[in-house]
Structure 1
Amino acid sequence: MIDTGFKTCLLIDDNYIDNFVTRRILESSNFAENIVVKQSATEAIDMIRHGSLKPDVIFLDLRMPLMNGFEFLQEYDKLAENDKTANKIFMLSSSLDPVDVKRSGQNKYITQFIHKPITQKILEELTA
């Protein structure tokens, strides 16, 4: 059991199986009070923009159709300051491309780049 103090965790990933597995791990570790899963970064940013979703932590997939992780971050940057409620944004990806890792590290919103799949051990390290 992990006590993070997070109220709402947003998981953005277009892969249903990845979402299912990640959500189960987040729930079993009590990572946040609420786990919200969106398969579309466009839908997620719209919900944040309109105030219907106020996550304090986000797990963001990198490679998605329509809007990828970096495009989501560009839109996130355009939000009003009071809509940017996420204290931490973790880039969650299966990409092994060093350019993706470097670019994530240079983004002011990304707390850490995490290679899929997420595990209980990784969650414990994130909250240590």
Structure 2
Amino acid sequence: MEPYRYKLCLLIDDNFIDNFVTRKILETSFFAETIVVIQSAVEAIAQLQAKAIEPDVIFLDIRMPLMDGFQFLKEYDSLNHGEGKRVKIFMLSSSLDPGDFQLSTQNKHITQFIHKPITKKVLEDL
């Protein structure tokens, strides 16, 4: 059995099918010991604020109802992150809008922009 690369991975995406596929790829790649899937950025912020989950890695969709990925990042920025631990956030999107890519590269929390669907090859390259 391969060692896991991360302890907890948070997947935030409102699309059930995308979540199913991404979760399976993360599991078969031994990416994280625990994978938590939340279908709402609002709920994810609430869970992070309550310290109910403390992820090492977040995969964040851009286009979601109520709160999109960029709005999530603004709220995330206001959370008390504690000293030292930097969470890697990967922006996931099927969007071909160059503005989305540009905004993600300008955000200090985004480690990398990844086009959906995520693949094992992409995970290996992270």
TM-score range (shorter-chain normalised) is: over 0.9
Whole-angstrom CA distance in 2 between matches of 1:83 and 1:69: 24
Aligned to 1:56: 56
Residue of structure 2 in register with 1:117 after alignment: 117
Q: Distance in 1 between matches of 2:115 and 2:29?
A: 19
8 Å contact kept, 2:5–2:30? no
Q: CA distance change for structure 1 residues 50 and 29 in 2, over 3 Å: closer, same or farther?
A: same
Alignment length (residue pairs): 126
- Once the two structures are superposed, the pairs formed by residues 89-128 of structure 1 within 5 Å of their partners are 89-126=89-126
Identity among equivalent pairs (%):
65
Q: How does 1:20-99 map to 2 (within 5 A)?
A: 20-82=20-82, 86-99=86-99
Task: Using the TM superposition, give the Cα deviation of residue 82 of structure 1 relative to its aligned residue in structure 2, in angstroms.
Answer: 1.7
What is the TM-score of this pair, normalised by structure 1?
Answer: 0.93
The residue aligned with 1:13 is 13
Q: 1:88 to 1:12 in 2, by over 3 A?
A: same
Contact between 2:62 and 2:68, CA under 8 Å: does it hold in 1? yes
TM-score with structure 2 length normalisation? 0.94
Runs of 4 or more above 4 Å deviation: 1-4, 83-86
CA apart distance, 1:86? 5.0
Q: Is the 8 A contact 2:4 2:33 kept in 1?
A: no
Q: Which runs of 5+ in 1 are unaligned?
A: none
> Where do 5+ consecutive residues of structure 2 fail to align?
none
Aligned equivalents of 2:32, 2:16: Cα separation in 1: 20
